[in-house]
Structure 1
């Protein structure tokens, strides 16, 4: 059986300068893709966005600012409240900027999820089955 970890969190979405609004974040870790965490953001049963995130970068973002591309993480503390700020950049807008969404998650909940993933596959023990991957490419004609 492949280790699989799933956690649903209520997070706060802020987009387009609007106030924060609560949405669900479904975080999933599958040992078959050991370096990634899938985050699906949903509201009222509708998927708003799906991102594949680097597990190590997600963990690092709990302690320091990381990322410089489409995804960036950094810790934010307001009094006793500790959050993980996740900035997601999308396609270009007509004004030359880029679409952007900011998600705030309760940092202890993200840390608890990551601990479960580390129990499934400890850091440094991730395996990539290159032969299986190449066989799949050749079988499906991805070349």
Structure 2
């Protein structure tokens, strides 16, 4: 199994005005998921893990019904991806440059092409992790 990874730093806009730093990561040995961490203050990052397929779908249409939702938005001459994240601690609506997210996803596709995720996923390692007591 390969442990190659893709990383990207993206700036999101919170409520369309306040910049929020975010770190996006994708690992070939975890081919079904993307991790996004959002900086909430200088020393704190909040991390979310969601499916890569959800992010792909969100570039072109509304996607997600749970704690993480995406949808494209073209407004003010900008092409954005709206990210809605919700937890018991709060709610945030963030806007990202859609082209930057698409570029990040393109890099993940180079590492693990769509439809080949099973070839990169080590189910035995997952079972060992889940059964470790």
> TM-score higher than 0.5 here?
yes
Count of aligned pairs between the two proteins: 130
Between the aligned partners of 2:28 and 2:69, the Cα distance in structure 1 is 23
Between the aligned partners of 2:6 and 2:96, the Cα distance in structure 1 is 18
Using the size of structure 2 for normalisation, the TM-score is 0.89
Match of 1:100 in 2: 91
Q: Is the 8 Å Cα contact of residues 40 and 46 (structure 2) preserved in structure 1?
A: no
Between the aligned partners of 1:59 and 1:137, the Cα distance in structure 2 is 28
1:1-143 residue pairs with structure 2 within 5 A?
1-14=2-15, 20-42=17-39, 45-91=42-88, 99-127=90-118, 128-138=121-131, 140-141=132-133
**Deviation at 1:44?**
5.2
Name which of structure 1's ranges 39-48 and 81-90 shifts more when overlaid on structure 2: 39-48
The two structures, once aligned, show a CA RMSD in angstroms of 1.7
**Gap regions ≥5 residues in structure 2:** none
**Deviation at 1:43?**
5.0
Larger radius of gyration: 1
**Deviation at 1:65?**
0.5
